Chains A and B, each alone.
Chain A
């Protein structure tokens, strides 16, 4: 029996820590913990609810936009305040652009190194790489010349004795299996992805006023003045500037990102067999299409035990099925345990002990849906969309499975998506769906503005006494919800139940493990000193844990420590 701990220690900063027990080359027990107190919500108590979004978007540097949006939606829900349709479209477009940026970056700049061995690039034949890439899509930047230039760049890097951005990859690991040419394609697209994610980020900046930290939302709508005759506002020129950027991103997603994920999956079909974990899936509806947020372009719902036929729809923020189902449990978290509490009654009173695997071991609480753990994220989003029969989700899921089948020479089925690779595949599917919806919502906004509607804001008024609301958003990492209680116009309680809390959940009072913990069971570990396989599964969730401190450490302590006992 071997115990492996992966702990990206820094002196002060807190992160995700993973402990696994390995027996005969396989994980048989796992624990996920957060090593930092997360009680940022307490800063909001007593404040004006109209300002909350300015603070909540500082929760996290990766997910600024999503916390701004969930916050205004929560306050609007408490007030039963509809928002103008222009405001819905502007918010939707902002959210989609943010998600496109985020998903591209996650795959190429965080996860790809789990599967790609950059040193193999030196053995690749650029002409052969070009012909493989061209067989996968019509993307114009896959020429032999392009591939040869990237190979030269990598050679210069290797010759310099350093691997630059790839230095932290597990290159040369026995679990690396891509052909040299596929490694070369991946590095070429890594470089191109840097450029295309930037276009998506620029769209967020154009709508949000700036990025990071958008300035354009408000409780009651948005602050993007619309005037077709003014240079300083949202006008036709700006809309077409955005469309130009959007078209580039859409093309990259559909012609590069989706085929690349299918190609990597095709080389690692065994990873459809690992990482299953918790198969209760939760996803909330998003991209509202009316002022009261009752119709959506992305469906939401809950799937128990991976059984798509048992899918239960969530119809909106007002749906009692959703509002009553969410609780958080602190039995194994470093808070005073008060049983499973609804977020409006949530408490955040620290009670730190040593790290104890059978008692308290994490700063993350255990969120539960009707008492059960649930996996959130793109896989939940795609499966819920698939179960609901959403045409775009069905189209792109079937297209991706078809492509994987032809590369891997196996029959890929939706059941295989309950896995480490399934989460990467689903993220690519979701990104492709969002790329189509981006164009749709751009058109909806443009048509509505051209029609002469320039309304962007309904002013909120706060009643005397207590009201409560929930704002949700299907964020890049999954279901995000902000729960607010307002008393006489001031915030009385505020809880953010974030996607990584669902997925990195510790055990609950009944002993049920969280999604990360469950997904690691059965993972192979070829070399406990280099637990690449653990990283593959954990990264597939796209963890975003350290909504936290960012301090420069000249001693280079942002290095994860792997400890084997």
Chain B
């Protein structure tokens, strides 16, 4: 099963960098098999389908807008991800994970097995540090990604 783990988020905007931070943690600890693709995708948009095509399983790690204390981890299924309806787009930034999956479901080549590990941020202000509560979630999110990838 061809598997990818992708961190999503902007490392210059505080806790939005949690996805890339978890990816860096996984790199540093070298606990994944060589057959798992691990990448910090930053803030992809219309190019995201390029990184999904050809994979059977994709695990995203991203900041998530839910009402819960900072550092809380929530899992979202493929169905939950694509349930968020696409809206009018003004810039190429709006399309994100759900749009990429919807496009590939139509065009062909979408991964079947998709899960999003969402971490609730505390602040998205300019800055390159994670808030303490969010930083503490890194090992838990990494272990979860590891478990989901095996």
Interface: A8 (CB within 8 A): yes
Interface size on B, residues (CB 8 A): 57
Docked Cα-Cα span, A105 to B138, in Å, equals 34
Interface: A556 (CB within 8 A): yes
Docked Cα-Cα span, A477 to B24, in Å, equals 31
If A61-B42, A212-B47 touch, whether A551 touches B16 (CB-CB below 8 Å) is: yes
The stretch of B26-34, B91-99, B140-148 that contacts the partner chain? B91-99
If A61-B10, A194-B103 touch, whether A555 touches B65 (CB-CB below 8 Å) is: yes
Interface: B86 (CB within 8 A): yes
Chain A residues near B97 (CB-CB < 8 A): 552
Option from B93, B118, B127, B128 in Cβ contact (under 8 Å) with A546: B93
A37: nearest residue on chain B (CB-CB)?
A: B126
Interface: A226 (CB within 8 A): no
Interface: A562 (CB within 8 A): yes
Asked whether B84 lies within 8 Å of A555 as measured between CB atoms, the reply is yes
Q: Which parts of A512-565 form the interface with B (CB within 8 Å)?
A: 535, 538-539, 542-546, 548-560, 562
Asked whether B66 lies within 8 Å of A201 as measured between CB atoms, the reply is no
Interface: B58 (CB within 8 A): no
Q: Which parts of A125-153 form the interface with B (CB within 8 Å)?
A: 153
Option from B76, B90, B127 in Cβ contact (under 8 Å) with A552: B76
Chain A residues near B103 (CB-CB < 8 A): 109, 164-165, 194
Asked whether B91 lies within 8 Å of A543 as measured between CB atoms, the reply is yes
Chain B residues near A15 (CB-CB < 8 A): 90-91, 93-94
Chain A residues near B98 (CB-CB < 8 A): 556
Chain B residues near A110 (CB-CB < 8 A): 46, 89, 92
CB distance from A73 to the nearest CB of B (A): 20
If A8-B87, A549-B124 touch, whether A61 touches B118 (CB-CB below 8 Å) is: no
Asked whether B92 lies within 8 Å of A106 as measured between CB atoms, the reply is yes
Binary per-residue interface labels of chain A (87-103) against chain B in the complex, 1 for a CB within 8 Å, 0 otherwise: 00000000000000100
- The size bracket of the interface on A is 35 or more
If A61-B93, A194-B103, A550-B8 touch, whether A168 touches B86 (CB-CB below 8 Å) is: yes
Chain A residues near B87 (CB-CB < 8 A): 8, 168, 556, 558-560
Asked whether B91 lies within 8 Å of A549 as measured between CB atoms, the reply is no
Docked Cα-Cα span, A509 to B39, in Å, equals 45
Asked whether A560 lies within 8 Å of B90 as measured between CB atoms, the reply is yes
CB distance from B10 to the nearest CB of A (A): 6
A104: nearest residue on chain B (CB-CB)?
A: B46
Docked Cα-Cα span, A76 to B91, in Å, equals 32
If A191-B107, A550-B16 touch, whether A165 touches B92 (CB-CB below 8 Å) is: no
B120: nearest residue on chain A (CB-CB)?
A: A551
Asked whether B12 lies within 8 Å of A58 as measured between CB atoms, the reply is yes
Asked whether A6 lies within 8 Å of B47 as measured between CB atoms, the reply is no
Chain B residues near A544 (CB-CB < 8 A): 91-93
Asked whether A43 lies within 8 Å of B128 as measured between CB atoms, the reply is yes
Docked Cα-Cα span, A551 to B10, in Å, equals 9
Interface: B64 (CB within 8 A): yes
Asked whether A42 lies within 8 Å of B126 as measured between CB atoms, the reply is yes
CB distance from B60 to the nearest CB of A (A): 8
Q: Which parts of B55-98 form the interface with A (CB within 8 Å)?
A: 60, 62-66, 76, 80-81, 83-98
Chain B residues near A558 (CB-CB < 8 A): 84, 86-87, 94, 96
Chain B residues near A492 (CB-CB < 8 A): none
Interface: A344 (CB within 8 A): no
Chain A residues near B124 (CB-CB < 8 A): 12, 549, 551
Chain B residues near A37 (CB-CB < 8 A): 126
- A43, A194, A535 pick with most chain B CB within 10 angstroms: A194
Interface: A55 (CB within 8 A): yes
Asked whether B10 lies within 8 Å of A167 as measured between CB atoms, the reply is no
If A43-B12, A212-B41 touch, whether A552 touches B63 (CB-CB below 8 Å) is: yes
Chain B residues near A548 (CB-CB < 8 A): 10, 13, 43, 93
Please name 8 pairs of A and B residues whose Cβ atoms are closer than 8 Å in the assembled complex, sorted by A: A58-B11, A213-B42, A545-B93, A551-B65, A552-B62, A552-B76, A554-B118, A557-B65
- For the complex with contacts A164-B106, A549-B43, 18 further pairs of A-B residues with Cβ separation under 8 Å are A8-B87, A8-B88, A15-B93, A16-B90, A40-B126, A58-B42, A60-B43, A62-B46, A164-B103, A167-B86, A212-B42, A544-B93, A550-B8, A550-B10, A551-B65, A551-B124, A552-B64, A560-B90
